[in-house]
Each structure stands twice: as structure tokens, then as C-alpha cells.
Amino acid sequence: MSQIREPEDASSDVDAEELFGESEDDLENLHSATTFDAFVVSSDWTTETLLGQIDRANIELDPIFQRRDAWDRKKKSRFIESLIVGLPVPQIVLAERKSKRGKYIVLDGKQRLLTLIQFAKGDFKLTGLELRSDLNRHDIDSMPADEKLAFETQTLRTMVVRHWQGDEFLYLVFHRLNTGSVPLSPQELRQALHPGDFVAFVNEFTTEDLTFARLFGRKDGPDFRMRDVELLVRYFAFARFLPAYSGNLKYLLDLTCSKMNSSWKRERQEVEEQARQCSEAIRAISAIFRDKAFRRHNGEEYERPFNRAVFDIMCFYAGDPATRARMIERSDEVRRAFEDLSGNARFVAALTSTTKSLESVETRLIAWGRALERAIEMRLPVPVLTEEGRIAYSEV
């Protein structure tokens, strides 16, 4: 019998596949010129000004985000060195909240702002500097007065987006800014646009329970790209709001955060338990499939990349304790069922192309549900397709 285990380290797969993730294709409301009525103001703010804005909570830098630190000390040190010697650094991009003038959401530059905060608080000493090696082993308090003044008065180009009409516009800006080699998850922007108790909970839960982060190769802390948070939100989206899915993943995840923020006080205990069940589901699937967990099978072998679509269908059913226990008891049969199903061309297509279409989601969930029923010899609540062409939950 398989034992519940931690997910395998998937560090080599982190950027290999982003199937069934959000993209500009989901921004279907960007169809009117009025959407682009926003204007951008460029300013040169000093580090002292930026730190003051953060300290007064005018620039919203979520404390939970501050625990998702992407840069090591050497990279932070070189950023501070660049400021001191006056080298150009990437700009900060903010969006002014529509309802709160003078309050800003960070669209790009959170790691740079976080580094400013940490250095100004004396949280680290400079290391690995080459241009100013004399400053190595110095923190803000021990730094010579001239260099400290240079740090505090250096300007950073800051772009502020104002009078934007809808969330879709900010998502577009976010996607365009994050087209580099290590893009962030849109979940970072989502939690800024839909703040609330549920959003705070999924952040905190995935920060403390690293089961999710380990799927992306993180061993010692949460995923700074917030893909771990996104996975948990996806789990809730498919477990609770599947009938609302029309092929637009962004809309479904936004809806999930908004509705669950609103119902938090009433459903808190149920939501917390459901999150724990999702974590247990990941552990169970990792025990059953070991280093092949959440990967696509091409009919001959498992492919390396983590596959979000496989994650969704596996956890959709394994989130139920009774189903999960039966899956563990019949691990060999479960693996064979998935491998056999992977020989079905329609199922394979639903995992590899047009993964966000309503038809693909329906194919994956229903096909795997039926195959799993046979493998574990247990009736399951396999979703059904309604006459209106939507996916509906079913009862056993």
C-alpha cells in the first residue's frame, strides 16, 4: 500500500510548461477603445520617498508577499550598489486605486521595493559587490555617510497608471510587463484587485504548507511567483464554481476569490478543511505516482513538465477523503487507469492543446472520473454536461 508522501522536487520542470494557465487570451473584455482611456504619469521618486510611501501604506506591499522573497542576498546587494553608484535600474510600475486616490497597487517592481525595505531596516549586509567592494559587509547603519546619502536620494523612475477603467486593463499591463524568462503568476495582481479574508487565507495557507510550493521546486519557502496560491484557488474554483466556467480561466478565478471573500465568515471552517483536503490530495497523488505525479503520459512514458490540467483532474476527485483512501489502496490500478486513458487521442488533446476550452475541461474531468471509478470500483460524482452546454456537478 502506498504511503502519503511529500511531492517530489520538480525544480527542473519549473518553466517547462505553462499549459492551462492564464494569458491575454482570457482578457475578452478588451474590445473597446474606452478601455484604454487610462493615462500614465512618469515620476522620479527617490528611495526615501518610496520608503515613506510604503511606510504610510500608500504603496500596498502585502506583508504576506514579503515572505515570498525571490532574490538572494547577492542580488539584493547589487541592486543597492547600483543605486549608490547611480547605475540605471528597472522602473517601478504602479496603478492608482480607483476608489482611493494616492493609494497604489504594484504592477512591477515588488522585489526591488522589498529589497529597499529590507536594507533600510538593516535586515542584511552587502555582499558580492565588485564596483564598490569596500562596502561589502556594511549594512545601512555602518555605511559611510556619503554612501548612505547617495542611497537615500537616488531616484528611481516610477510609472503610475491612473484612471484605468477595468481590471482587464491592469491584467493586460501585467501580462505585457511579465513576458520575461520568469513571469509572475497573475494571482499576485488578482489578490490586489480582490483583497479579502479568503485571499489572505490562501496566501497564508500556502506559505505555511509547502506541499503546493514543492510542486514548483521550492523546498524552503513559498513560491515567489505565487503559483502555489493559484493552484489552491484553482482547486476551490473547480470544486465550487465549475458550472460558471465558460472557457475563461481568469474570470473563473476572479469569481472564486470575490465570492469566497464575501462568504468567508459563514464558510470559514468549511473552507479551511477543504484546503487541508487539497493538501492531502497532493500528498496522496504523489504517493501513488511518485516522481511522475501531475505529469502527462504520452502513451509510452511520462513527460517531465508539471501539468496544471492533470493537477486539476487528480485533485478534483482525490480531495474527497473516501475516494482518496480507495485510490491509495488501489494505487497500481489507478496508475494503469491513467496510463491507459492517456492512449485516448481525445483525452490527450484535452491535456495538451486548447486546454482552457469548456470542451477540454469537460473531457478531462469526465473521462478521468469514469476511468477512476472503474479502477477503484467506487461510484464517484462525475460531472455531467447540461443541455445548455455547461458542466454541472452530479451526486453519487
Whether pTM exceeds 0.75: yes
Strands annotated E in the chain? 39-46, 59-60, 92-96, 104-108, 155-162, 295-297, 302-306, 384-385, 391-392
CA distances from 331 to 3, 285, 292, 313 (A): 10, 9, 13, 16
What is the predicted pLDDT for the residue at 79?
A: 97
What is the predicted pLDDT for the residue at 66?
A: 61
Q: Average pLDDT in the 190-214 region?
A: 93
User: What number of other Cβ atoms are within 10 A of residue 293's Cβ?
Assistant: 23
Sign of CA dihedral 168, 173, 179, 181: negative
Using CB atoms within 10 Å of the CB of residue 84, give its burial: 0 to 12 exposed, 13 to 18 middle, 19+ buried: buried
Distance CA 229, CA 200 (A): 10
> Closest Cα partner for 334 from 294, 378, 298, 289?
289
Confidence band for 68, pLDDT divided at 50, 70 and 90: confident
What is the predicted pLDDT for the residue at 181?
A: 46
Q: What is the pLDDT of residues 71-80, one digit of tens each?
A: 899 999 999 9
Task: Check if the beta carbon of residue 132 is closer than 8 Å to that of residue 79.
Answer: no
* Domain map (residue ranges) of the chain: 11-16+213-392, 39-163
CA angle 313, 369, 22 (to 5 degrees): 25
Task: Check if the beta carbon of residue 120 is closer than 8 Å to that of residue 77.
Answer: no
Distance CA 395, CA 83 (A): 60
Q: What is the pLDDT of residues 291-327, one digit of tens each?
A: 999 999 988 899 988 999 999 999 999 999 999 999 9
> Closest Cα partner for 203 from 65, 343, 337?
65
Q: What is the pLDDT of residues 135-181, one digit of tens each?
A: 999 999 999 999 999 999 999 999 999 988 877 788 888 777 766 54
Sign of CA dihedral 377, 276, 11, 62: positive
Confidence band for 16, pLDDT divided at 50, 70 and 90: very low
Instruction: Give the least confident one: 87-91, 328-332, 387-391.
Output: 387-391
Give me the phi and psi of 281, to 5 degrees please: -65, -45
Task: Check if the beta carbon of residue 253 is closer than 8 Å to that of residue 234.
Answer: yes
